[in-house]
Amino acid sequence: MTAPAASMIPEEEVREALAPHYILERELGRGGMGAVYLARDVQLERPVAIKFLPPDLAARPELRARFLQETRTAASFSHPNIVPVHAVEERDKVLCFVMGYVDGETLGKRVQRAGPMPVGEVVRLLQESAWALSYAHGRGIVHRDVKPDNILIDRGSGRAMITDFGISRSQDAAGLTMVGEVLGTPQYMSPEQATGEIIDGRSDLYSLGVVAFYALTGRVPFDGGSVQSLLAAHITKPPPAIASLRPDLPASLSSAISRLLEKEPARRFQTGEELAEHLDPLRASRREISPAIRLFAVKSNQIIRNSVMLLLLAPTLLNAVQGSGDRAILLTIIFAAIGALGFQVVSGLQELATQGYTHEDLKTGLTAIGTEQTESRALTRTGPNWAARQARRRRLIIGGMVTAAILIFISFKVRVPRLQGGYSTGLIGFFSAAIGAGLLVSTWIYAIASGAGSARIDGWLRGLWAGGFGRGLYTLIASRIRTRPAVRTVSIEIGAMTVFEGLPKGMRRDLGDVNRVIASLLGAQADLLERGVRLDTSQEEATRGTAGVATDTLERVVSELGQARSMVVRQREDITAELERLRLELIRLRSGVGTTAEVKAECARAKALMTTGAAAATL
């Protein structure tokens, strides 16, 4: 388990020891293996995070060796979902290492701040963490302390980044596993780690399963009691069924978490890549929504609701007006307002068609928005104050209706008959009627907007645009556009090229040929994807066999095709990871925390990767 917090070096001593190369700004956090500070690298003018080993621990050879081992391990990593280590500093009894600063928050703080996370965010977090762990496991390193506080969520990109390999070690190393105790955090510890057995990467995957359980529910499977009881629960007790706590989860995600939490390592996912591949269909089905489509959905929803409200209020407004001429004018104004609102909807559809979106894109985006809204409502219902909020909502609705009824009743009671017919309400009656009617309409709107009726209205409106009426109207509008743009699809995420094109002109000029490198990577990625499809087809045909061809020949062909496909998959993964690294560096540059030199250095690595990939493709 995590060691108790040790005495820390006075901050003034730390500042003096690191000057003039680093300027400390503030403490970010601390734990059993040291404190972490935000600092500024003076030479490179960038923010960094610096982790210090307390002096009393640095004096212990075994802990000092483990701290340095973490540094050597993490410094060798280059992965978009692992916090990079830049340097090691040892001055005046100060032992620390310098890491990349992630502007964001830990997963633990995210859940504490905002509660359980939506399914899409957790799927993305799980997949990216699985990639990072698979990368480390492939280099013989087990993290041993995967928990929410060791997973950072970058504010700019939303990416999950694993940090603190402070108790990690090589699977082949010996002598650093135990320092008088089992290492790790009890709430997230695998059964084999709790019993002190030899562990491998599957132990980290168990811990990742506990992290996912926490992210989706706001609680861990086992909690409370002593450390010993926690460890015993991980070893012997089955975890609660997550579907009972989050009924909105897709079955494949629930089953993935249950499989991660299996007591026997052999029953879990065997690698991070296997887990990431299992999550691919979920990730692919939860596509990002184009801002243009999201804007249309919001505006059209508001416009139609306002139009319906005008129609519902029309009889009341007409009855309040004396004279047929005035009523005709008011009726004309109402229908003109509704027509203007309808024209805005048509203009919104025309703008989408002009930008190259198809009706299928609109339908896909609206479906994704509906999924988001369903998840949001499900998350709200799982919140601790849901029942209290519902009770307060009912009281507000009942109170508003009763108060409106009383005010309207008063307006009727104070009426005075006129000699020429009709009634005179007077000032009190006028204000009572006006306030009562306004309160009645406001309460009614609040009841619809905050209840189950709102979900039904939203669903009806999505069906309106996604169905036959919406398709016909969209086709008619699109057919009247003379200049046909290139067809767009709903993008999965903002890519590296999009980020580059969003930079200021001078900054793009300073970056040189970065855009051409990104274009080359994207082209290579598409070519590899197409090559992989061809190899899959050829492998399937070879597996079925061909008359007159010897079995051993077919087996050799299938094996060679399989090897070629594996190489293509690896190359595509390398290019995808490089595109992601370039994208993150560009985002950092745009946010002011990165430098042009860092982007160019990453661009140079991309060129080297392309050269290596081209050479491999010719083999």
- d(C-alpha 201, C-alpha 205), whole Å: 7
Exposed e or buried b per residue across 337-361, where buried means at least 16 C-beta atoms within 10 angstroms of its C-beta: ebeebeeebeebbeebbeebbbbeb
Which of 100, 132, 162 terminates a domain? The answer is 100
Judge whether 302 lies within some domain.
yes
Judge whether 491 lies within some domain.
no
Does the active-site annotation cover 145?
yes
Using DSSP's 3-state secondary structure scheme, residue 500 falls into: helix
Beta carbons within 8 Å of 10's beta carbon, 6+ residues apart: none
Query: Residue 38: enclosing H or E segment and its boundaries?
Result: strand 34-41
Residues 77 and 27 in one domain: yes
- Beta carbons within 10 angstroms of residue 99's beta carbon: 21
Residues 317 and 450 in one domain: yes
Phi, psi at 442, each rounded to 5°: -60, -45
Q: Tell me the per-residue pLDDT of 316-341, one tens digit each, with 9 for 90 and over.
A: 666 655 566 767 777 788 778 778 87
- d(C-alpha 207, C-alpha 242), whole Å: 15
Taking Cα atoms as reference points, which of 503, 500, 494 lies closest to residue 603? Answer: 500
Judge whether 470 lies within some domain.
yes
- Low-confidence residues of the chain: pLDDT under 50: 1-6, 167, 170-182, 483-493, 615, 618-619
Candidates 145, 154, 458, 574; catalytic one: 145
Residues 66 and 152 in one domain: no
Q: Return the DSSP state at 546.
A: -
Residues 451 and 412 in one domain: yes
Q: Tell me the per-residue pLDDT of 475-484, one tens digit each, with 9 for 90 and over.
A: 888 887 654 4
Residues 61 and 187 in one domain: no
Taking Cα atoms as reference points, which of 41, 84, 39, 88 lies closest to residue 67? Answer: 88
Judge whether 488 lies within some domain.
no
Per-residue model confidence (pLDDT) at position 495 = 66
Which of 285, 304, 322 terminates a domain? The answer is 285
Per-residue model confidence (pLDDT) at position 179 = 37
- d(C-alpha 164, C-alpha 71), whole Å: 9
Residue with tokens 């027509």: 339
Residues 280 and 329 in one domain: no
pTM: 0.54
Residue 8 CB burial class (10 angstroms; 0-12, 13-18, ≥19): middle
Which of 216, 251, 285 terminates a domain? The answer is 285
* Total length of the chain: 619
Handedness of CA 575, 581, 587, 589 (dihedral sign): negative
Question: Residue 285, Cα to own-chain centre: how many angstroms?
Answer: 14
User: Pairing relation of β-strands 46-53 and 34-41?
Assistant: antiparallel
Number of domains forming the structure of the chain = 4
Residues 110 and 122 in one domain: yes
Residues 344 and 452 in one domain: yes
Residues 15 and 132 in one domain: no
Q: Which amino acid is at 59?
A: A
Judge whether 1 lies within some domain.
no
Per the CB < 8 A criterion, the answer to whether 199 and 145 are in contact is no
Give the CATH number for residue 254: 1.10.510.10
Judge whether 487 lies within some domain.
no
Per the CB < 8 A criterion, the answer to whether 379 and 421 are in contact is no
Beta bridge partners, 152, equal 106, 161
Per-residue model confidence (pLDDT) at position 596 = 86
- d(C-alpha 82, C-alpha 541), whole Å: 40
Q: Which amino acid is at 328?
A: A
- d(C-alpha 66, C-alpha 56), whole Å: 14
Q: Which amino acid is at 229?
A: S
Residues 259 and 328 in one domain: no
Phi, psi at 276, each rounded to 5°: -60, -40
Residues 307 and 389 in one domain: yes
Per the CB < 8 A criterion, the answer to whether 300 and 461 are in contact is yes
Range of the domain at 309: 291-479
Dihedral angle at the C-alpha atoms of 492, 495, 498, 499, nearest 10 degrees? 130
Residue with tokens 């691919």: 280
- d(C-alpha 342, C-alpha 339), whole Å: 5
Judge whether 576 lies within some domain.
yes
Give the CATH number for residue 91: 3.30.200.20
Judge whether 485 lies within some domain.
no
Phi, psi at 38, each rounded to 5°: -85, 130
Q: Read out DSSP for 377-437?
A: HHHHHHSTTHHHHHHHHHHHHHHHHHHHHHHHHHHHHT-EE-TTSSEE-HHHHHHHHHHHH
Residues 470 and 508 in one domain: no
Taking Cα atoms as reference points, which of 368, 220, 358, 360 lies closest to residue 282? Answer: 368
